[in-house]
Amino acid sequence: MEIQGTRFGVLEFKEEEIITLNEGLLGFPMSRRFLLFPYGENSSFFWLQSVDEPEIAFIVVNPFDFFANVEFQVQDEDALALELERPEDVEIFTLVTIPEGRPEEMRTNLAGPVVVNIQNRQGRQILVKEYSPRQLLIPPHMQESYLKEREVRRNSRRNRNRQRTEQNQLKMAAAG
């Protein structure tokens, strides 16, 4: 199967890769089938791409990668709807928002995690009142070091690009 998305172009996938959220996500009731794939190699971030509405894709994370003390209780009603039989069959993701130009202020919705039964690929967004829907992913005391690290990476890329440009100019001058 394949879909033509606006963000990734053509995505090819197998039917068994689809995660089905019968009730959709809050605010997106028409999107009920999703693909989950890594944002990048060795990344804690993933894309949750709608199959039903290819223009819709969310960045999600496994919240346990960021918050050691977070715990989610899956209510009996949710466990029944997902046909959960064992705790090890559960995967949990939370949606991420990244303010334009301010990635250090990215947040995740711990109050509305998406619970997935990895055995049958059924998922459901649940409500967890104890947590914030706008939880910072990078604590304030770490944001400054994040910004410095980001600037170092940016400068490194600029230097590599400048070196390539200079090398290409030298090659062109030698050839001309």
Q: Do 18 and 61 belong to one domain?
A: yes
pTM confidence score: 0.78
Q: Do 148 and 86 belong to one domain?
A: no
Residue 163 binned pLDDT confidence (cut-offs 50, 70, 90): confident
Hey, is 89 helix, strand or coil? helix
Continuous segment of H or E residues that includes residue 170:
helix 140-175
Q: Do 43 and 107 belong to one domain?
A: yes
Residue 150 scores a pLDDT above 70: no
Residue 174 binned pLDDT confidence (cut-offs 50, 70, 90): confident
Average pLDDT over residues 30-47: 94
| Distance between CA atoms of residues 145 and 128, nearest Å | 31
Domain that holds residue 163: 139-176
| Distance between CA atoms of residues 113 and 98, nearest Å | 17
Q: Do 110 and 166 belong to one domain?
A: no
Structure tokens at 114: 């998406």
How many domains, the chain? 2
Q: Do 174 and 144 belong to one domain?
A: yes
Q: Do 11 and 33 belong to one domain?
A: yes
Q: Do 122 and 164 belong to one domain?
A: no
Residue 85: which CATH number?
2.30.290.10
